[in-house]
A and B are shown apart, each in its own frame.
Chain A
C-alpha cells in the first residue's frame, strides 16, 4: 500500500515538474532594448507587469545608455542572434541595422493598427525610411521630439531681475528671439555662490544655460541645434558637404563662448538630460530641453514645478535658409521590431502600449506622438504646464530638421558633429582644421558608399 502511494506521489511530482517546465518553455518571452528616459519607469512599474498579467507574455526590458544601445542592437542584429525582438527606434541609428528590421505593413493590416493617428511628417521622419527601406513602415513612433528652450519663468518675471537686465542690456528680460540674446541672458544669470537671484541668496554657483555635452554623442546632440539653426543640412542632393560654409565657424565660435561662459563644467560629463537635474535643483536658469525631460523640471514632485517657461529655439540671423526660429533635428523615437520568430507578438505588445494605452502612456510619460493625444481632454488636463509647453513643442516640431535617411548619417554627420565641436571647444584643433577634417571625412564616406 505504502509502495503504491510512493509510486503515485513520484509520478504526480514528475508530472507537475514536467508541466511547469513545459509551460515555462511554452511562454513567449519578448526582449526589448530600450533608451533611458521617463518611459522606462512607466514600462517597468506599470505597463510591462500589466501586459504580462493580461497576456501571459513575458517582456524583458534592457535599458542601455544611448551610444551603447545602438551599438549593441547593431551587433546583435548583424550577428543574427535574434537576441532582441524589439527595440527603441531612432531614425539617426536606423542605418546600422536597417536590413534586419521587420517591415510592419502586413502586421498593421492584420491587427488593424490605426496609422491615421500619425501626421505625415511623423510618418516620414520616424516610421519610414525612404532610401533604406522604400515603401515600408518600419517603426511605430512613440515620442518624436525636437529641442526647445526652457527657462525659470519666476526669475524672468521677478521685478529686481527685470530691472537689472533692462539696465544692463536695454531690453526687457524675456525668452530670447536670437542666439545672441540667449547668450546675454545666460551670462546675466551666471552668478557665483553668495550672489542673489530673485531676492534669494545662492548657496551654490548659478549657471546661465546648459545642455548635456559629453563628447561625442551628447555634444553632437546639443551642437546640431546650432548647425541646423545656421541653415546647414550637412550635405546637398549631390552629397557635397555644405559644411565648408564660413557660417559654421561663426556657429562653433559662438558655441565655445556659450559653453565657456555659462555652462556648468560638469556638463561635459553629461550624456543626455542630466543637466535638467541642475535646473530642478535651482542651479541652472535656462536650458536646452528635449521634451521627454519635461517631467524632471515640471513634474508634480519637482521643486521647480510651475516655475518653468517654454519657448522655441531662437533664430540665427543670417542663417542660410531664412528660418524664422532656430531648430534642432527631429529626434526622439519609436519602436521597431527585429525580424525574429516573435515579431507578431512584439507587434501586439507595441500596439497595446502605444494604441490601446495611448492616453495612459501619455499621462505617465508626457510623451506625444498621436493625434488623439493632442486632443484628448484627459491628457491635456493632466499637467498645468501643457498650456505653455505644448504650443512651443508643436511650433518647434514644424521647424524640426528631419535627418537624412542614409546609413551613413551616424558616421558622417552625428559622430563627426560631436567630434568637431568637442575638438574646437577643448582646443584640440583650430576651428578651420576641425572643419576641414569633418568635411573631408564626410565626403570620403559618401564617396566610398558610391553616392559621389
Chain B
C-alpha cells in the first residue's frame, strides 16, 4: 500500500518527465555532442571529434570574455530596470481609487503591447523610431528642452544603455502583470490598519507590500534574468552587436560563430557554456532569494 502510494505521484508526473526529456534533453545532449566536434557549415559531411578543443579555444578567446561581460551587464541591467519599472507601475495601478477603474483596465491592456509584440519588431521600432539620432523620439523630446541627444546606438558610451532600456521596456509588462496580481492579494484590512498606525505611502510599500510580494519579485527577477541572458532578436535588430562589439551579447556570438563563420562546433560550445552559466546563476539566485522555500 505504502509503495503504491509512493508510486502514484511519480505516475502522474511521468508523462511530463518523458515529454520534458525528449523536448529539452535531446537538443541539449545533441548540442553538447556537436560542441565536441569540428563541424563547418560548408563541410557538413565532414564531422571530426575534437574532444574539449572548442571549449579550450573558447576560454582563451578575448571576444568570449568580452561577450560574457556584455551579457552580464545587459541581463542585470534589463532585470533591475524591468523589475523596478514593473513595481512602480503595478503599485500605481493598484492604488485605491485607480484599481478596477476603466482607465486602469485600459492602461493594463496598453502596457501589454510591448510584451506581445514580436521582438524583432521591438528592435526595429527602437532603431528606427526611438533612438534614431535625427528623427527618433528620444532626441525629439530632448530637443524640446534645447538639448542635443547623442547618437544613441552608434556611440560606444550609450549603445548598451539604449539596448537595455529597449529590452527592459519589452520585459516590463510581465512584471506589471505579476506584481499587480500579487499586490491585489494583500488584505485591505492590513493596509488600513497600517495606515491607522501612520504607515502610509512609501512606508507601507517598503514595510508591508514589498515583504509580502518578495517571492513574486524573486520569481520575476529570475524569469527576466534568464530571458535577458538568452536575448537575441531585439539586440540583433537594434544594434547587430555594435558599435564594435559593445552589445555583442553571447547569443549574438553564437550566431556569428555558427552562421557567419560557419563554425557549428564552436557555436554549440558557446551555447552549452551559456546553459551552464544560466543554470549556475539561477541556482545561486534561487538559494539567495529563498525561492526554494516557496512550496513550504
Binding site for B on A (CB under 8 A): 67, 71, 74, 78, 95-96, 214-217, 265-266, 268-269, 407-408, 410-411, 415-416, 422-423, 425-429, 433, 445, 448-449
Contacts and interface: CB of A to CB of B under 8 A. Distances in A.
A408 B151 CA distance: 37
B242 A215 contact: yes
Contact of B42 (A214, A215, A411, A415): A411
Contacts of B204: none
Nearest to A74: B41
Contact of A426 (B44, B63, B243): B243
Tell which of A67, A411, A416 has the most Cβ of chain B within 10 Å: A411
Contact of B153 (A217, A269, A427): A269
Contacts of B151: 265-266
B153 A407 contact: no
B262 A216 contact: no
A260 to B, nearest CB: 12
Contacts of A445: 40
B95 interface: no
Contacts of B244: 215, 422-423, 425-428
Interface string B239-267: 01111111000000000100111110000
Interface in B130-179: 133, 151, 153-156
B96 interface: no
Tell which of B155, B241, B256, B262 has the most Cβ of chain A within 10 Å: B262
B66 A214 contact: no
Given A216-B256, A265-B154, A448 B243 contact: no
A410 B240 CA distance: 19
11 contacts: A214-B242, A216-B256, A422-B244, A423-B63, A426-B243, A427-B244, A428-B66, A428-B245, A445-B40, A448-B38, A448-B40
B62 A429 contact: yes
Nearest to B244: A426
Contact of A411 (B38, B40, B133): B40
A436 B246 CA distance: 21
B42 A268 contact: no
A269 B154 contact: yes
Given A423-B244, A426-B243, A427-B244, A95 B260 contact: no
B183 to A, nearest CB: 42
A423 B242 CA distance: 11
Given A217-B260, A268-B154, A427-B244, 5 more contacts: A269-B240, A408-B42, A415-B261, A423-B244, A426-B243
B4 interface: no
B43 interface: yes
Contacts of A423: 63, 244-245
A407 B45 CA distance: 14
Contacts of A410: 42, 262
Contacts of B242: 214-215, 268-269, 422, 426
